[in-house]
């Protein structure tokens, strides 16, 4: 039983957050940032509200899109046992 508890605790502590970046055109030319949450169900399998990075860029031709699961996103997902799994998208132009 003790071994199972250690394995469970290790599996929860060793999970990681993901992050990926996309560069459009020449990438961000300044520090103007827009951030929105993306909303998913069932550990990210079913999107219910995903941000549109092109709309967030508001017509800019050069921008950088950074999508990640922040600590707060991971905490919310853990508290809901993965039923609700948000992520965060930031567009820098």
**Average pLDDT over the chain, rounded to whole?**
87
pLDDT band at 12 (very low <50, low <70, confident <90, very high): low
Could you state, in order of their start, the residue ranges of all structural domains in the chain?
18-92
Average pLDDT (13-26) is 78
DSSP reduced 3-state for 14:
coil
pLDDT of residue 36: 95
- Exposed e or buried b for every residue in 30-64, given b needs 16+ CB within 10 A? eeeebebebebeeeeeeeeeebebeebbeebeebb
> What is the CB-side half-sphere exposure of residue 19 using CA atoms within 13 A?
6
Q: How far is the C-alpha of 76 from the C-alpha of 32, rounded, in Å? A: 27
pLDDT of residue 3: 87
E strands, the chain, are: 19-24, 33-41, 46-49, 63-68, 87-92
Average pLDDT (48-59) is 91
pTM: 0.75
The 8-class DSSP code of residue 84 comes to B
């Amino acid at each position: 039983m003790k071994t199972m508890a250690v394995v469970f605790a290790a599996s929860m502590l060793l999970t990681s957050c993901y992050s990926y970046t996309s560069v459009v055109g020449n990438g961000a030319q300044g520090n103007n940032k827009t951030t929105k949450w993306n909303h998913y169900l069932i550990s990210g399998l079913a999107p219910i509200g995903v941000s549109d990075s092109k709309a967030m860029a508001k017509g800019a031709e050069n921008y950088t899109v950074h999508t990640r699961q922040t600590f707060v996103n991971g905490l919310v997902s853990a508290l809901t046992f993965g039923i609700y799994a948000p992520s965060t998208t930031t567009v820098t132009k």
